[in-house]
Amino acid sequence: AQSVTQLDSHVSVSEGTPVLLRCNYSSSYSPSLFWYVQHPNKGLQLLLKYTSAATLVKGINGFEAEFKKSETSFHLTKPSAHMSDAAEYFCVVSDGKYGGSQGNLIFGKGTKLSVKP
Amino acid sequence: EPEVTQTPSHQVTQMGQEVILRCVPISNHLYFYWYRQILGQKVEFLVSFYNNEISEKSEIFDDQFSVERPDGSNFTLKIRSTKLEDSAMYFCASTGHHTEAFFGQGTRLTVV
C-alpha cells in the first residue's frame, strides 16, 4: 500500500532564508509524487510533480524537490522564502491505478509553513 | 487558465438532511474525483468517476453517498442523510489523460 509521511506539521522560517519541507513515501512500485499548496480559503494548487523522469523537479514560485529512491524521500525546498509562501503544503503520492490518470491521490497530513518578516 | 469550480463555498445543514455538492470540472477532462478533509486531518480520497460510472471508492464512501454527472458539465456529490461527522471540506478534482489533478476551491460542509 502507498503512504506518505510529512515529518513536520509546522515549519517557521524568516523571510529570505531557505525552506525545507520533508516528505517520505512508501510505495510498492515506482510512484508519481506531487507537492500541492493550499493558501487560506483557496483550493489545492499543484507546485510540482515527479513522474519517473528527472529526479530533480522544478516547480512554480522557485520551489523544487528531489526524488531520492534510496531514501524514499521527496523533500521540498526553496532557497529564499517569501512572505507569500506562507501556506499549507501537502506531499502526495499517486496510486497509479489508472494508466492515464494521476488522480487517485494519497495525501500526507500537511505542513504549515509560516514566514516571519 | 482552466479551473475546477465548486458551489456552494459553504453549506450548513441539519443532521439527517440531504445535501448536494456541485462541481464543474475542466471541460476536456475525463476523470473526476471527490476528496474530503475533516478539520485537522488528512485529505482523504472518496470516489473516482470515469466513463459515467464509479471507478473506485474508499471505505468512507458508503451507501449514504452517491455521485452523478447529470449533464456534460456538472459532477455532483450527494449525501442522503447527513451526520455530524460528515462535516468537512469537500474537494472536487478532475484530470485528463496523463495530467495532474486540478482541484476546486472546496465546499465547507457544516452539519449541525
Q: Does B4 touch chain A (CB under 8 A)?
A: yes
> Cα separation of A11 and A31, whole Å?
26
pLDDT of B100 above 90? no
Higher pLDDT, B64 or A27: B64
Partner-chain contact A102 B56, CB within 8 Å = no
- Write the CB contacts of B71 (distance below 8 Å, at least 6 apart in sequence): none
pLDDT in tens, B17-76: 999 999 999 988 989 999 999 988 889 999 999 889 998 899 999 999 999 998 878 999
Least Cα separation, residue A81 to chain B (angstroms): 24
| Number of Cβ pairs < 8 A linking chain A and chain B | 67
pLDDT band at A102 (very low <50, low <70, confident <90, very high): low
**CA nearest to A108 within chain B:** B42
CB contacts of B101 in chain A (<8 Å) are: 46, 102-103, 105
How many Å apart are CA A46 and CA B95, to the nearest integer?
12
Q: ∠A103-A43-B89 over CA atoms, to 5°?
A: 85
Name the region of A72 (left: φ>0; alpha: ψ -120 to 50; beta: rest): left
